[in-house]
Amino acid sequence: MPIPAPTSAPIPTGPRLVLPGWTPEVAAAVVAGTRRGDWAPDFPADGDRVVARLLARDPAGPGWGELGHRLLVERDGGTVVGGAGLFPAPDDGPAAVELGYGVVPSRRGRGYAVEAARLLLALARSAGASPLVAGVEPGNPASERVLERIGMRPTGTRDGVARFRLDVGSTT
């Protein structure tokens, strides 16, 4: 099934990361298990493979939109080091979006997850999406700290996953 070109939406850019949308070529390479020279040695991670399959399976879906899935690319050198994205979360409200992110192990501990989460929070805010929600699997306190650093607060658990929320219109 052909994959459409990504949207021409602005590319979120931070001090150390750029978050372009996935391209059909990157998604196809991940699905096929082909390595590219601009990837960190441990990219793609399991979550990136899941995203690539979702994008390939749903070429007209929300994963390709402005609030869809993004790559985490180091500004210095252009290396792909993970993925992040926003996707519809209708159980949390008609304009709710869920934040997800992953940084490959070789690049963890550098603040990339926080930087990417802040960039996506700004993107959600500019698109009028609210609330921003996220889930954290048990035993991942580093991810909980990422969400707290961007202003998200715990709201309890659902299906064994710690849930976080931020009304995007609020200041952080």
Q: Which stretches of the chain are DSSP H helices?
A: 24-32, 46-57, 112-127, 141-149
The model's pTM is 0.90
In tens, the pLDDT along 21-45 reads 998 889 999 999 999 999 999 999 9
Q: And the tokens for 144? A: 């909980």
Local confidence band at 58 (pLDDT 50, 70, 90 cut-offs): confident
Local confidence band at 119 (pLDDT 50, 70, 90 cut-offs): very high
- Between the alpha carbon of residue 16 and those of residues 34, 47, 75, 77, 78, the distances in Å are 26, 22, 5, 10, 10
Of all helices (H) and strands (E), which one includes residue 168? none
Residues above pLDDT 90, as percent of the chain: 78
Q: And the tokens for 38? A: 């601009």
Local confidence band at 169 (pLDDT 50, 70, 90 cut-offs): confident
Pairing type for strands 161-166 and 132-136 reads antiparallel
Residue 80 is predicted with a pLDDT of: 98
Specify the residue for token string 């709201």. 155
